[in-house]
Each structure stands twice: as structure tokens, then as C-alpha cells.
Amino acid sequence: MQYEIQGGNLPVVICNLNAGEQIITENGAMSWMSPNMKMETVGGGVGKMFGRAFSGEAMFQNVYTAQGGPGMIAMASSFPGSIRAFEITPGNGMILQKTAFLASEVGVKMSVYFRKNLGAGIFGGEGFIMQKISGNGICFAEFDGHVVEYNLSAGQQIVIDTGNLAGMSESCTMEIQSVPGLKNKLLGGEGFFNTVVTGPGRVWLQTMPISSVAGAISGYIVRNN
């Protein structure tokens, strides 16, 4: 499979498949395709279906196959931001925010990821459940806004505001850190908690979480009604 990501901050990934090659997409992700792409909707068992639902995705996925020759399929992001391609190999998986999975080669698996720290799940900004991407192949993920990447060495940490954590290597660990001082908590405007990610591994941060955009829009609507 060959692919190209176009569109800047309104991105689309265009994949060109050889005859017989397949790609898995999130339900409703296909934007356009060549006529010889055959679609089959799959669930993969009750456990996997509910796992996808808990992690923010639809219970069913679509498998597209190029039949009779090379095929083309395109998937656009559902929100202004970025589409990133990740090479997934055994032992080199990803932890992603909910709803990040867009599409992948058939050797990639998406499952539910429970944050081990209950505090991280409740206060971390993206809920108790995230997505774990494992297996072997290319995975496409969509993030909100511009993406900044950091490569953390062993023990190195980064403190992240709620909602800005888009993804991290599965080798990283995550915990919740309380903002120090009652005055800072109540008057600082940054909330009560931050997310702390510890290396080794890579971290992807998004500049425009959809939750923040929704909050800003709702506040504007309230003020003008």
C-alpha cells in the first residue's frame, strides 16, 4: 500500500492499494474511492465490538478490498487538524485518545485501553478509556489541530494540560498531578489537574482539542442568547 496525506489542516489520506490488498476503516470514514473497491462490514466478535464502543469508535468497522486490479480509497478527518501515519510493529504500539483511529492495514488491531490509575481516568481530560493500537502495519490517526511531537528519554517527563494529549508510545506511562495551591486551582484558569507523561517514548500533543472548542462555542452561545 502507498499513501499520501494532503489538505493541510483539513486533511485527507489517499491510499493506493494493489490488487487484493485490504484496508480497515472506522465506520463512515470513507470519503471517495475507485469503483473496484469492495466493502465488507465486520464486527469481530462481541468483545471486540464493545471494546471499540467503549474506546469511542463505532461497534463495526469496514474492510475494503481492491478487486481485479489496483484500487484507491480516501479518508478525510472529521475535524480540522492532522492525520498522522504510524508504523506499528509487535512491541511498538500506540496509546491514542478516544476516536483517534481512522484506518489501518489489516494486520493492525485496535482495542480498548484502561488507564491503570483511576485518578488519571477520571481527571485526565480524555476519560478512563483510551485506544490501544497494536499488531503489524500502518495505522492512520486523526488529531485535533496542529500536532507537536516530543521524544522523551527514560525518566524524562512532560506536563500536559487537560485534553492536549493526543497519543503516546505504549512504553510511556501516565499519571495525574494536582495543580499546587488552592489559589492556583481556583483562580488560575487551568483546572485542578494536569497529565504527566514519563518516558521513554514519543508523545504527540494536539493544539486544539475538540472538547475545548466545544466549550468555547457553548460559552459564546450562552452569552449571546
| Number of domains forming the structure of the chain | 1
Q: What is the dihedral of CA 124, 127, 129, 132, to 10 degrees?
A: -60
What's the confidence (pLDDT) of residue 47?
44
The enclosing domain of 33 has a CATH number of: 3.60.160.10
Residue 224: inside a domain, yes or no?
Answer: no
Residue 223: inside a domain, yes or no?
Answer: no
Residue 50: inside a domain, yes or no?
Answer: yes
For the segment 138-159, the average pLDDT, to the nearest whole number, is: 96
Confidence of residue 58 (pLDDT cuts 50, 70, 90): low
- Least trusted range by pLDDT, from 18-22, 48-52, 90-94, 116-120: 48-52
| CA distance linking residue 190 with residue 95, whole number of Å | 24
Residue 8: inside a domain, yes or no?
Answer: yes
In the beta sheet, which residues pair with residue 152?
A: 201
194-221 confidence digits (pLDDT tens)? 789 999 999 999 998 876 666 667 666 6
| CA distance linking residue 221 with residue 225, whole number of Å | 6
Share of the chain above pLDDT 70, in %: 74
**In 98-182, beta strands by DSSP E:** 101-105, 108-114, 129-135, 137-144, 147-152, 157-160, 165-169, 173-178
Range of the domain at 129: 2-218
In the beta sheet, which residues pair with residue 53?
A: none
